[in-house]
C-alpha cells in the first residue's frame, strides 16, 4: 500500500517538475517571480468558485489563474507599477479566496491541503490531469521556444523579426496558469512559485545555453520531488514543504559549488 502511494506521489511530482523546469527558466529570465505567486494565490479564489458552482476544482483554479495573469499583464502594460499591481491583486485574491472557501456551505475542504498540497493522496485521475497539463505546457514551450527566447532577450528584436511580444507573453501566461492549476495537488498554492523558481535558479550558474538551463532545472525539480517525498515518508512531515526544502537545499549546494569554482579560478 505504501509503495503504491509513493509511486503515485512520485509520478505526480515528476509530472509537475517536467512542466515547471522549462517554464521556471522563463520565469527567472523575465523576473516574473512575483507574477507566478500572484497567479497561484488567485487559484484559491478559483477553488471557491468551483465549489460554489459545482464544477471541477481544476477548472475553477485554471480560470482564475488565467484571469489574474491577464489582469496583471493589462495593468502593467498601462504603466502601473508591477510590484504594486502584483501586491494588491495577489494578497486580495488570496484573502478573498480563503474567506470564500471557508464560507462555502455544505462542503468540507482541507485548507492546509490547498495551501501546502496533498500529493500523498493523489489518485489515477489526478495523475492523468497532471501529466495531461504538463504535456500541454511542454508542447506550448516546445512550439514557441525560439520566439519566446527572442521576446525574452529583447521585445524590440522580436518585433524586428516579425514576432508580437504580447502574443509570446500571452502564451507564457497560459502555460503558467495551467502549471499552477495542475500543481495545486502537489505542493499547494503557497509553494508553487518555489517549485518554479528554485530549481531554475539553482541551474542558472551551470548553464551555458537556455536549453541546458531548462534541462538542468527540470532535473533539479525531479530530484527535489523524489528527495522531498522520501524525507516526508521518513520523518512524517508535510510532503509539499519537504519538496520545497529539498529544492532549497539544491539551491544552496549550487551556490556553494559556484563559490568553490570561483575561488579555484581566482587562485
pLDDT of residue 76: 64
What Å distances lie between residue 87 and 25, 36, 98, 186, 262, CA to CA? Answer: 22, 12, 17, 25, 37
How far apart are the C-alpha atoms of 203 and 198, rounded to whole Å? Answer: 9
How far apart are the C-alpha atoms of 110 and 17, rounded to whole Å? Answer: 24
207-235 pLDDT, tens digit each: 989 999 999 999 999 999 999 999 998 89
pLDDT of residue 74: 73
161-208 pLDDT, tens digit each: 888 988 888 888 889 889 988 888 888 888 888 999 999 999 999 998
The average pLDDT across 231-240 equals 90
Q: Which tops the pLDDT comparison, 91 or 209?
A: 209
pLDDT of residue 1: 45
Which sequence spans correspond to the domains of the chain?
Answer: 2-190
- pTM here? 0.88
What's the pLDDT band for 121 if we cut at 50, 70, 90? confident
On the 0-12 / 13-18 / 19+ scale of CB atoms within 10 A, 2 is exposed
Note the residue count of the chain.
Answer: 267
Residues contacting residue 34 through CB under 8 Å, at least 6 positions apart = 82, 83, 86, 87, 90
pLDDT of residue 10: 93
pLDDT of residue 87: 75
37-65 pLDDT, tens digit each: 888 888 888 888 887 788 888 888 888 88
How far apart are the C-alpha atoms of 126 and 47, rounded to whole Å? Answer: 16
pLDDT of residue 242: 94
Phi, psi dihedrals of residue 190, rounded to the nearest 5°: -75, -20
Q: Mean of the per-residue pLDDT values for the chain?
A: 86
CATH of domain 2-190: 1.10.3470.10
How far apart are the C-alpha atoms of 85 and 35, rounded to whole Å? Answer: 10
How far apart are the C-alpha atoms of 28 and 86, rounded to whole Å? Answer: 16
pLDDT of residue 117: 85
- Integer-rounded Cα radius of gyration of the chain: 19
pLDDT of residue 11: 93
Task: Give me 176's grid cell.
Answer: 503558467
Task: Give me 15's grid cell.
Answer: 509530472
Answer whether 187's CB lies under 8 Å from 240's CB.
yes
pLDDT of residue 2: 45
Task: Give me 159's grid cell.
Answer: 518585433
- Does the structure show a pLDDT above 80 at 105? no
How far apart are the C-alpha atoms of 254 and 228, rounded to whole Å? Answer: 17
Amino acid at each position: 500500500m505504501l509503495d503504491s502511494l509513493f509511486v503515485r506521489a512520485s509520478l505526480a511530482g515528476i509530472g509537475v517538475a517536467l512542466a515547471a523546469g522549462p517554464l521556471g527558466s522563463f520565469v527567472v529570465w523575465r523576473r516574473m517571480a512575483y507574477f507566478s505567486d500572484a497567479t497561484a494565490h488567485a487559484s484559491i479564489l478559483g477553488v471557491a468558485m468551483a465549489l460554489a458552482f459545482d464544477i471541477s476544482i481544476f477548472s475553477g483554479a485554471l480560470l482564475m489563474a488565467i484571469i489574474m495573469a491577464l489582469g496583471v499583464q493589462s495593468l502593467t502594460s498601462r504603466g502601473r507599477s508591477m510590484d504594486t499591481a502584483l501586491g494588491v491583486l495577489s494578497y486580495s485574491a488570496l484573502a478573498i479566496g480563503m474567506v470564500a472557501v471557508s464560507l462555502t456551505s455544505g462542503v468540507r475542504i482541507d485548507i492546509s491541503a490547498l495551501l501546502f498540497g496533498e500529493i500523498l493522496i493523489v489518485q489515477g485521475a489526478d495523475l492523468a490531469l497532471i501529466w495531461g497539463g504538463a504535456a500541454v505546457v511542454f508542447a506550448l514551450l516546445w512550439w514557441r521556444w525560439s520566439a519566446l527566447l527572442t521576446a525574452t532577450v529583447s521585445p524590440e528584436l522580436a518585433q524586428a523579426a516579425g514576432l508580437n511580444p504580447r502574443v509570446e507573453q500571452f502564451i507564457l501566461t497560459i502555460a503558467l496558469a495551467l502549471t499552477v492549476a495542475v500543481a495545486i495537488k502537489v505542493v499547494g498554492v503557497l509553494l508553487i512559485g518555489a517549485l518554479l523558481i528554485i530549481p531554475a535558479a539553482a541551474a542558472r550558474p551551470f548553464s551555458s545555453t537556455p536549453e541546458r538551463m531548462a534541462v538542468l532545472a527540470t532535473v533539479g525539480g525531479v530530484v527535489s520531488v523524489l528527495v522531498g517525498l522520501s524525507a516526508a515518508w521518513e520523518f512524517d512531515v508535510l510532503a509539499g514543504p519537504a519538496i520545497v526544502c529539498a529544492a532549497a537545499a539544491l539551491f544552496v549546494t549550487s551556490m556553494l559549488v559556484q563559490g568553490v569554482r570561483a575561488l579555484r579560478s581566482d587562485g
